[in-house]
């Protein structure tokens, strides 16, 4: 009889990401056939009665959304400190979804949310090297030496990281750059810029893998198209997904106004 690891089953059912599911198991919140499980590596046979917090595990309808996170919102579904969160924006959704990765409170832009735990694991796992592109405004003019250092690699405490960088606009006061990375360390973009001598004024993530936030207003969200979902899943097979243009906005309805006939009498 083929068995499967419990945390993978939970993630596939949309409970949370694999890492979060491991924490849920360690906390003793999961039972299998009436027995509390606290070991992450536990394997479960097909048809087992799996419950989380006493509630049976069900197969949810998978949902995929893209959100343009505003600045000042934390990337959580709720916040015990009373701060604004992306959960406040998504509360209209009937399906419970979870952020893929994290944007810090002062970073705005593209955030993917889904209940597909397997896809979340793929998109956040370092080996798949999903590229993220940011528009970054820093203080001061970023000179050629700093740009070269970003491209060649900056030493952070986790690892040496590099970026693809292009200058969009530069003045004596500020520089605006487009920066692409394939890692996902905490506040990585800010720390890289500080490492080359530039304080960050604004960061906006405009692309995540093949997805673009173009056309989506701040605080807005929409469901992904089938083409966008397929392009994300292609990453798990080692396929470099081509950029997918966001769907065109619906055309405004044309309202025809009938002309009044003149009274010729």
- Please identify every residue annotated as catalytic: 104
Rounded Cα distance between 91 and 183, Å, is 30
- Gap between the Cα atoms of 58 and 78, Å rounded: 23
164-196: b or e for each residue (b if 16 or more CB lie within 10 Å)? ebeeeeeeeebbbbbbebebeeebbbbbbbeeb
The whole-model pTM stands at: 0.76
Structural domains of the chain sorted by starting position, each given as residue range(s) with its CATH number in brackets? 4-56 (3.10.290.10), 66-125+214-237 (3.30.70.580), 131-208 (3.30.70.1560)
Strands 200-208 and 132-139 come out as antiparallel
Report how far residue 11's alpha carbon sits from residue 4's, in angstroms, rounded to the nearest whole number: 12
pLDDT tens digits for range 191-222: 999 999 999 999 999 999 999 999 999 999 99
Q: What is the pLDDT of residues 37-60, one digit of tens each?
A: 999 889 998 888 999 999 998 777
pLDDT in tens, 1-26: 578 889 888 887 778 877 889 999 99
Q: Which DSSP state fits 117?
A: H
Tokens found for residue 237: 């097979």
82-92 burial code (b ≥16 CB/10 A, e <16)? eeebbbebbee
């Amino acid at each position: 009889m083929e068995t499967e690891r419990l945390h993978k089953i939970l993630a596939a059912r949309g409970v949370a990401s694999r890492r979060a599911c491991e924490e849920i198991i360690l906390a003793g919140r999961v039972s299998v056939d009436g027995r509390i499980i606290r070991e992450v590596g536990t394997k479960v046979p097909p048809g087992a009665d799996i419950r989380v917090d006493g509630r049976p595990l069900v197969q949810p309808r998978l949902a995929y959304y893209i959100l343009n996170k505003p600045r000042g919102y934390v990337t959580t579904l709720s916040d015990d400190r009373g701060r604004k969160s992306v959960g406040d924006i998504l509360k209209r959704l009937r399906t419970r979804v979870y952020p893929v990765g994290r944007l810090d409170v002062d970073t705005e832009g593209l955030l993917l949310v889904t209940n597909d735990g397997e896809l979340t694991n793929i998109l956040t796992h370092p080996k798949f090297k999903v590229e993220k592109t940011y528009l970054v405004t820093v203080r001061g003019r970023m000179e050629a030496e700093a740009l070269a250092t970003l491209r060649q690699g900056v030493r952070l405490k986790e690892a040496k990281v590099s970026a693809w960088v292009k200058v969009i606009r530069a003045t004596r006061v500020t520089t605006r750059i487009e920066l692409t990375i394939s890692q996902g360390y905490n506040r990585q973009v800010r720390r890289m810029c500080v490492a080359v001598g530039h304080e960050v004024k604004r960061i906006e993530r405009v692309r995540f893998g093949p997805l673009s936030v173009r056309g989506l207003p701040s605080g807005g969200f929409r469901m992904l198209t089938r083409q966008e979902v397929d392009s994300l899943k292609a990453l798990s097979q080692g396929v470099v997904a081509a950029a997918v243009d966001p769907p065109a906005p619906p055309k405004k309805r044309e309202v025809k106004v009938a002309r009044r006939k003149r009274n010729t009498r």
